[in-house]
Amino acid sequence: MEGLEAQLRRLRLDKGLVDVTSEFRELASRMVPESVIKAPSFDLFEGTHSLEIDNPKLDSSLLALTEKELNFDCTKVYGEATEQKVEFVTAVVDRLCRTIVLWLNDFQTLPTTVLSCRYVAHILCQFTEDPCADLSSCQLETGDELFDQVLASCVIAVCYFVKFVQTLFKAGVVYEEEDLNCNAMGLNVLSTVQLPTVKSHLARSQKLLEKSYPQAHQLQMLLMLLMHLVEVYGLLPTYFGSTSQVDHEHTLNKLIETSRDLEQFPLPDGTVYQGAFSAVIQKKMSNQFPPRDIILPTGKEYTALADMVQDLRFVLSVDQAKTVTEIAQFSRFFNRVRPLHVVARAFYPLNLMRDDQTVLAQYTFDEYSQLHLEEFSFCDTELYKLLKNEPQTSGVKQKFQDFLQEISGALFEWYQTSSQNPCRSRQGFNRQLLMWDSLQAQIETYELELESQGIADQLEDGSSFMPLTTWVFYMKLRAMLDFVLKGFELDVYKPWEFFSMFWYSYYLAQHLENTLHRVLNFIEARIDSMVALNKKIKKLKAGEKKEKLREAYRAGMSSQMPVLMKNKDFIKYSLLDCSVIKILSLAQVFQFAVLKSFGLIDNQHPGSGRFSSPERVHKLRFKTFASIGVPELPSYGSFQQSLQDFVITEPMFETKLARSLDFNEVELSKVKSSLQSVFQDIEADSGQTRARAGTQLVQKQALEYYQGLLRSTDALIINGKTLRSKLGNRRRDDLSTAYTVGISRTQGGCSYFPLLKLDQRKP
Amino acid sequence: MSGLEFPDYIGSKIYVTVTRARMLVGTLVATDSELNLLLDNVEEITADSNRKLGLISVPQDTIKSIKIEAAQITALENSKQAFSRDIV
Amino acid sequence: MSLSYRLLDSSSVEELKHVQRLIDADLSEPYSVYVYRYFLNQWPQLCYLAFEENERDPVGCVVCKYEEHRGARLRGYIGMLAVAQQFRRRGIAKELVAIAIEKMQTLGCDEVMLETEVENTTALSLYEGFGFIRLKRMFRYYLNQGDAFKLILPLTEKSCTRSTFLLQPETALGLG
């Protein structure tokens, strides 16, 4: 207590205070037990986030520290002989590099990883107090150059990488606590320091090591690693403008190489750190977070670091895309089967959709949105042709531009969703639904207006095409499908919900298929008419008319025709993709119905009767879709009726059952052949005379996804056979006492299609 | 001594000595009948450190003493008197 | 050995301590005393205790609240549920939840919400037995880094309508 009293005297807190302890106790004793006295404006909810004195989970003062940790001194030289000093500095720098990986890969906090290093805290405290851009305030001052120059460089470099991650984090694509913890304890992480300053600091250290410590081999490698690691900051799109282009490919390759080289060194004995890594920062510095144990390296950090850099290199490769479809396909697949490293996920959208309102510095947002339309349904439509010759000021054009902006907003959401964690991604699709839905309503009105002015496209059957509405509808259906199916991936649905969810996804896929067919019909008609034009020209006599037509034909062949051909390929691929989802969903519906036919499952919530009802629970599940205009959500009754239609009943139970299971098998074998065609499309893209699936930059990832679907298809076929053999041919009452229905996930299968399998009931 | 009640003290800066030789200085936000205090903008002072902790719940069994600036008490008393005069 | 259930006596400081003891033994999340104050002081009518004949102290508790959600509906929330280790598997948790939901119903709640760990199959099957469904999954929701499910039980039709639509006057009239 004397220590505290002395401190209070120093702070002049020992005088002028009146002890009110007993008065407070007296006042409290007069309070009604269940009451709380508080400021009227204070919400007790805030109080739930408070820390608490002497609560081991909430009081960071309780963190236990060893003598060594308490006495650790950043201004002291550790080690007597050069060899010992090198060993110490190497161990600290090595651990520091590993803490980056512990921080990012295991979703740990900064205070338990990078900031657990006393040198980091020391240097950042200095910088926070005196933020000198030339790093002159960041000193160790031990009097030994190995510490003051080399170790300081390394600490600064690691902090600079933290700054890079902080910058990504601030862009708001990944989420605090879920994806990443960026709590820097209020320290300023080198905000004003420029990359070249850090690089030259490191370069001085490299020179020093070469000259005076040639034996410090591992330390030299670590410096090399850090040199490349700080260069990663240069990948930030905001940075491009201010410096000459860095060779990113080279930097990242070197980084991977050096990480791999460092894998060979074993973790040193923990005593070598002398207390340089500890919970001191949590205990001694301002801290509004609960205490947490510091995280120890496991030895696999450099492998993980190399993996992180590979993911980063991979997402950067999107800038090689030649069409918008390729970028969209990249976004669809890059983070799908295997979630990418959080740094790559955070970097991707930031790099793609830049602060300067461009996509990859190649297209403005409006151009990009227009290309999205053109590479689907818009090319060679009446509005498309009209806009080509329309002046900027025309009303039609202005309105079209307005829509492009709205579309950009929705696309922005769609692209962001692609790089989020799986839970956020499902919610992202949910949010998009209303966006696409209202956009569709607006664009439809616009297109109807255009039609009334005679700007209209018709399909062969005479119905109107409405290319813009069609595209929005297509995007909306895809988001709806992803939202529904992602629920299976995240284990959100119980077995009894499988029927409703798969029947609905089948329903959506049917709408999507129809939409794609309409687009294909339109594109084929445009292609045919252009070909027909050539024939027409040949029949014409030479003259002005012929020349005019020939001109139009040439222009069409050179500009629209290649786009139409490409679009046709992509739509055909999309139709295959859609049919796979459709039939797999249908197969799930069939298998559910078979299980129901044997009394093993029902689509009603088994326990909902007491406080709710099956219908109400169903409506809650479909709440999002109930507000969507098109396609209309089928009524609860339709869901029930359609299940009845699938369920097999007497008479002729056996025959109907066999027919149902056979049909299922035939359909599933069709899926397998569709998937083979998709594989061909994807593989053909690498040779690329012309891209069909647009997946050339994500070939591996796309193949992985479709191979997963293939495995799920096989698993469904086998499951059908198992059901057949286990259940027999006749409806029996004892089956539900023998079996329960559970969910099974196929090894390497598509996460959208878990199976309903029979489990032997436990006695 | 002062005729002040808890609601009067809410919002005042108080000095609470707690276990482990620490003094917490912060704004009194709330208290319950057991004298579990809720303090905001808390600064924790120990023999060798001085740091900010934010919003802190101080359970009554950790409290050694509670102090308040004499000047603050006078101010509270004065404003209370002025207030009751106004009412009368 | 019979069980009984009753509302927490909020005038007893002892009972708040029992709740604290039961929850602290059970949950990994760190709670300060003001977490308990938040619930028990504002919604004392939604905190129930379970007693076992031979035990002096309560052996289980459920702590809830209810509030307006997005200005559109009343949402009950089950904040904490705990049963002492040696009294589990006797349906105490189930009864506590049932009593709490019944109370929420009489208070006019449109739905009941809660979060639970994805790995906690016991809790999931308990709640799913009442008709709760998993509305969404939340990534690394807990301090121990586990994912959570957000569960909802719809008590009235209002629970099944997007709140934005409930806010439109014509819809509200329609419902009235």
Bridge partners (DSSP) of residue C69 are: C73
Q: Tell me which of B52, B61, B66, B74 to substitute to probe the interface with A (most A C-beta atoms closer than 10 Å).
A: B66
Touching partners of B (3+ C-beta pairs < 8 Å): A, C
Bridge partners (DSSP) of residue C97 are: none
Give pLDDT, residue A692: 86
Please, which pLDDT band fits residue B88 given cuts at 50, 70 and 90? low
- Give the angle A128-A131-A134 at the CA atoms, nearest 5°: 140
Q: Per-residue pLDDT tens for C28-85?
A: 788 999 999 999 999 999 999 999 999 999 999 999 999 999 888 999 999 999 999 9
Interface contacts (A, B; CB < 8 Å): 153
Domain encompassing residue B50? 6-87
Give pLDDT, residue A677: 94
Ordered by start, the domain boundaries in chain A are: 2-60, 67-318, 569-763
Tokens of C147: 């994912």
Q: Smallest Cβ distance to C139: which of A421, A611, A623? A: A421
Give pLDDT, residue A688: 56
Please, which pLDDT band fits residue A171 given cuts at 50, 70 and 90? confident
pLDDT of residue A248 exceeding 90, the answer is no
The answer to whether the CB atoms of C139 and A58 lie below 8 A apart is: no
Q: How many helices (H) and strands (E) does chain C have?
A: 6, 7
Q: Smallest Cβ distance to A612: which of C38, C129, C155? A: C155
The answer to whether the CB atoms of C33 and B30 lie below 8 A apart is: no
Q: Which residues of A fall within a CB distance of 8 Å from B31? A: 24, 28, 36-38
Please, which pLDDT band fits residue A244 given cuts at 50, 70 and 90? very low
Pairwise CA distance, residues A690 & A678, whole Å: 15
Query: Could you give the percent of chain A with pLDDT greater than 70?
Result: 98
Bridge partners (DSSP) of residue A109 are: none
Please, which pLDDT band fits residue A243 given cuts at 50, 70 and 90? very low
The answer to whether the CB atoms of B33 and A34 lie below 8 A apart is: yes
Q: Which residues of B fall within a CB distance of 8 Å from A7? A: 45-48, 50
The answer to whether the CB atoms of A619 and C98 lie below 8 A apart is: no
Pairwise CA distance, residues A709 & A702, whole Å: 11
Q: Smallest Cβ distance to B47: which of A6, A18, A21? A: A6
The answer to whether the CB atoms of C131 and A52 lie below 8 A apart is: no
B57 → chain A, closest CA residue = A52
Q: Smallest Cβ distance to C13: which of A33, A607, A608? A: A33
pLDDT of residue A689 exceeding 60, the answer is no
Q: Which domains does chain C have, with CATH numbers?
A: 3-175 (3.40.630.30)
- The reply to whether A44 touches chain B by the CB within 8 Å rule is yes
The answer to whether the CB atoms of A58 and C41 lie below 8 A apart is: no
- The reply to whether C135 touches chain B by the CB within 8 Å rule is no
Tokens of C88: 């589990």
Please state the domain count of chain B. 1
Interface of C with A in 16-75 (CB under 8 A): 30-35, 37-38, 40-42, 44
Give pLDDT, residue C169: 47
Q: Which residues of C fall within a CB distance of 8 Å from B57? A: 32-34
Residue with tokens 């080279």: A250
Bridge partners (DSSP) of residue A19 are: B67
Q: What is the mean pLDDT of residues A619-627?
A: 95
Pairwise CA distance, residues A344 & A57, whole Å: 33
Q: Tell me which of C11, C37, C38 to substitute to probe the interface with B (most B C-beta atoms closer than 10 Å).
A: C37
- The reply to whether B29 touches chain C by the CB within 8 Å rule is no
Q: Tell me which of C10, C16, C24, C32 to substitute to probe the interface with B (most B C-beta atoms closer than 10 Å).
A: C32
Q: Smallest Cβ distance to A21: which of B11, B34, B66? A: B66
Please, which pLDDT band fits residue C173 given cuts at 50, 70 and 90? very low
- The reply to whether C70 touches chain B by the CB within 8 Å rule is no
What are the residues whose beta carbons fall under 8 Å from the beta carbon of A344, sequence distance 6 or more?
Answer: A308, A311, A312, A314, A315
Please check whether residue A240 is in contact with residue A361, taking contact to mean a CB–CB distance below 8 angstroms: yes
For residue A52, give the nearest of C10, C79, C36 by alpha carbon: C36
SS3 A447: helix
Query: Could you give the percent of chain A with pLDDT greater than 90?
Result: 86
Compare A650 and A224 and report the one with higher pLDDT. A224
Distance (Å) from the C-alpha of residue A632 to the closest C-alpha of chain B? Answer: 50
The answer to whether the CB atoms of B36 and C33 lie below 8 A apart is: yes
pLDDT of residue A706 exceeding 80, the answer is yes
Q: Tell me which of A484, A611, A740 to substitute to probe the interface with C (most C C-beta atoms closer than 10 Å).
A: A611
In whole angstroms, what separates CA A115 from the centre of its chain? 27
Min mean pLDDT across A419-428, A588-597, A650-659 is at A650-659
Touching partners of C (3+ C-beta pairs < 8 Å): A, B
pLDDT of residue B82 exceeding 90, the answer is no
- The reply to whether C13 touches chain B by the CB within 8 Å rule is yes
Tokens of A190: 């080198």
Distance (Å) from the C-alpha of residue A279 to the closest C-alpha of chain B? Answer: 15
- The reply to whether A38 touches chain C by the CB within 8 Å rule is no
Please report the ipTM that was assigned to this predicted complex: 0.95
Pairwise CA distance, residues A746 & A577, whole Å: 20
For residue A99, give the nearest of A153, A186, A157, A22 by alpha carbon: A157
The answer to whether the CB atoms of C131 and A611 lie below 8 A apart is: yes
Is the Cα dihedral A267, A271, A274, A280 positive or negative? Answer: positive
Q: Which residues of C fall within a CB distance of 8 Å from B59? A: 33
Considering only the C-alpha atoms of chain C, give the largest distance between any 2 of them, rounded to a whole number of Å.
Answer: 57
What are the residues whose beta carbons fall under 8 Å from the beta carbon of A86, sequence distance 6 or more?
Answer: A79, A146, A213, A215, A216, A219
Q: Which residues of C fall within a CB distance of 8 Å from B30? A: 34
- Give the angle B53-B57-B61 at the CA atoms, nearest 5°: 120
pLDDT of residue C102 exceeding 70, the answer is yes
Please, which pLDDT band fits residue A134 given cuts at 50, 70 and 90? very high
Q: Per-residue pLDDT tens for A723-740?
A: 999 999 888 878 888 999
pLDDT of residue A305 exceeding 90, the answer is yes
Min mean pLDDT across A349-358, A371-380, A388-397, A560-569 is at A388-397
Q: Per-residue pLDDT tens for A536-565?
A: 998 888 888 899 999 989 999 999 999 999
The helix (H) or strand (E) run that includes residue A258 is: helix A248-262
- The reply to whether A624 touches chain C by the CB within 8 Å rule is yes
Interface contacts (B, C; CB < 8 Å): 14
Q: Tell me which of B31, B32, B56 to substitute to probe the interface with C (most C C-beta atoms closer than 10 Å).
A: B32
Report the DSSP pairing between strands B13-18 and A755-760.
unpaired
Considering only the C-alpha atoms of chain B, give the largest distance between any 2 of them, rounded to a whole number of Å.
Answer: 51
Q: What is the mean pLDDT of residues C137-147?
A: 88
Please, which pLDDT band fits residue A687 given cuts at 50, 70 and 90? low
- The reply to whether C175 touches chain B by the CB within 8 Å rule is no
The answer to whether the CB atoms of B33 and A24 lie below 8 A apart is: no
- The reply to whether A19 touches chain B by the CB within 8 Å rule is yes
Give pLDDT, residue A173: 83
Q: Which amino acid is at A310?
A: Q
pLDDT of residue A144 exceeding 80, the answer is yes
Pairwise CA distance, residues C165 & A629, whole Å: 13
The listed range with the strongest mean pLDDT (A24-38, A82-96, A232-246, B69-83) is A82-96
The answer to whether the CB atoms of C33 and B57 lie below 8 A apart is: yes
Interface of C with A in 97-156 (CB under 8 A): 98, 101-102, 105, 111-112, 118, 128-131, 133-141, 143, 145, 147, 149, 152-156
Bridge partners (DSSP) of residue C116 are: C149
Q: What is the mean pLDDT of residues C130-136?
A: 96
Please check whether residue A169 is in contact with residue A346, taking contact to mean a CB–CB distance below 8 angstroms: yes
The answer to whether the CB atoms of A39 and B68 lie below 8 A apart is: no
Return mean pLDDT, chain A: 94
Q: Which residues of C fall within a CB distance of 8 Å from B36? A: 33-34, 37
Give pLDDT, residue C29: 81
For residue A692, give the nearest of A322, A326, A317 by alpha carbon: A326
Query: Is residue B39 domain-resident?
Result: yes
What are the residues whose beta carbons fall under 8 Å from the beta carbon of B21, sequence distance 6 or more?
Answer: A1, A3, A4, B46, B47
The answer to whether the CB atoms of A34 and C11 lie below 8 A apart is: yes
Is the Cα dihedral A490, A493, A498, A499 positive or negative? Answer: negative
Residue with tokens 């006492």: A737
Pairwise CA distance, residues A290 & C41, whole Å: 25
Pairwise CA distance, residues A255 & A305, whole Å: 9
For residue A397, give the nearest of A450, A475, A448, A358 by alpha carbon: A450
pLDDT of residue C10 exceeding 90, the answer is no
Interface contacts (A, C; CB < 8 Å): 133
Tokens of A283: 């205990």
Distance (Å) from the C-alpha of residue C73 to the closest C-alpha of chain B? Answer: 30
Give pLDDT, residue C167: 62
Pairwise CA distance, residues A430 & A485, whole Å: 12
A714 to each of A577, A668, A674, how far by Cα in Å?
Answer: 17, 8, 13
What is this structure's pTM? 0.94
Q: Per-residue pLDDT tens for A350-363?
A: 999 998 899 999 99
Query: Is residue B1 domain-resident?
Result: no
To 10 degrees, the CA torsion angle through A587, A589, A591, A593?
A: -150
